[in-house]
A and B are shown apart, each in its own frame.
Chain A
Amino acid sequence: MQPMIKVENLTKRYAGVTALNGVSFEVGRGEIVGFLGPNGAGKSTTMKILTGFIPASAGQVTVAGCDVFEESLEVRRHIGYMPENNPLYVDMRVNEYLKFRAKLKGVARADRKERVQEAMERTGIADVQDRVIGQLSKGYRQRVGLADALLHEPDLLILDEPTIGLDPVQIRQVRELIKELGKQHTILLSTHILPEVEMTCNRVIIIHRGKILASDTPENLRKTLRSGGMVNVELRAPLADVQSVLPVVPGVASVTVTTGDDGMVYAAVEAKADADPREAIYQAAVQGGWTLRELTRSRTTLEDIFVQVTREEDEAEEDRRDQRRSVLR
């Protein structure tokens, strides 16, 4: 089966700026994929190209087997798109707007009423359908945008920052909705909020400075990038003993030891990949006769991965720059 989205060597240059640099990825049918990256990484640009709003400078992009540039109108029929900041006609009423959009998207006259009603019910805006969009709260407007994206029952939903600017309750509601929609549609959503991806997506694509740095499930990313995680240890013991013993405990990669005012020793232990050194640390404490107050493991969050991956990339970039400079000298 052909993938829903296939992007090969996508490059986009604006005057003087390379927004995307040889990006390739695929999204299979039924996947919920999160596009993760800091502001200005190229998320929105990729989405604008996918929806045919702007063309690529180079590369091949197909949606449901259609080239986005050659068969733009056909591609647009497959996509339900919610742009960044969710622009809507604020002077229209909700049902009036959705009816207009349904017509524009070519929903047959006979089905139109039903589709509009269905989209409103799925997004929970049926009770505000007679209100003017400009007077709705941001959460409701966001749902109007989602309802619009659903109208023509597209195979693919592309949502650019769907939870931006919402309050915590609204964010939770929109995430639930996205998960619900993921049962029937392929979804590509972008965000720079990490927990969002962990909660809603079954795959993450990390993009930074127009390049894809990683693409995997949140679990796998954790495993491959830094599996062991951190172990926090609090002890009542002589500082020198802790400093000499802990680093040689099996499974420990590195240790940072500090002392507190209360006479406790705090050790931040970084575990080796695929290792859990907690039991070994306990044994070491018993042997040394230390009093152990805390021994906890913090799992690597996506945030750590994200920071790590983007930092590595930034450092690599810096190295390249330094090399170029030294060559020039």
Chain B
Amino acid sequence: MKKLYRIARALVLLALLSPLGLAWLPPDRLPLRLEPAFQAVLQSSFRQLSITLAATLALAALLTVVLGYASVLWQRFGRTGASILKAVESVPAILVALFCYAPVSGYLARHSSGASQTVSLLVFILAATLTLLPEAVRGVAIPLGDLYHRKYSLSFRSYGFTKRRILAVLMGSHVMRGTLKRIAAGILLKTLVLDCSFGFIIQLGFGSYGTPAHASPGALIAANRDALFEGGTPALFWLPSLLLVAISTSFLLTLGEREEAAA
């Protein structure tokens, strides 16, 4: 029964995440037939979203694990890092993203759309990672520090294990793997929200030809906001919105997963 539930749950998650995969299929292989121009933009925006999510997750998760581990290993590093991350956290995420674009705004305006889009994506990933890190690092450092200081350090240090090795073992423990899974879901959810709101704002502020070029589904929704009015095709607005809701739900389901209490 439990196994069946797990399989059903995995299938639901896969179905909810499928827009990110379907975006990479050739247009003629898609199960849905849409107006070709809209379908191309829709697919392109979800392709960019999947790249953004994957790249941000890779970078943020790597930094989170390294910084979380290091901040427990070296307490002074942990304290200094926590102060810096707290300062970053005090700035709203969307402003951090806009500030990050300031140094490269000239480059983005001068170069072709391809180069501009790549740099824009890199800057966005950096900005998103920066805004996600404080909570993610805390999410690793607090349970890891708790496991080490309150539970495992006394016996294991007395056997002669180094702190580094004990922490490495604890990082791979069931509890920490569950924690990391939830942190990854949190990173993805926040990146998605930031990406779409950023795309939405850029589209509203600069239009399709503005810089930075940020073709996320948020920009697509903003571009088609008129479709809700009389004479428009509401599907142009609702379809990307619903797909985003589906993807967010899958992250929320993972985030809300609770481990069974230990015996």
**Do chains A and B interact in one complex?**
no
Chain A residues within 8 Å of B, Cβ to Cβ: none
Chain B residues within 8 Å of A, Cβ to Cβ: none
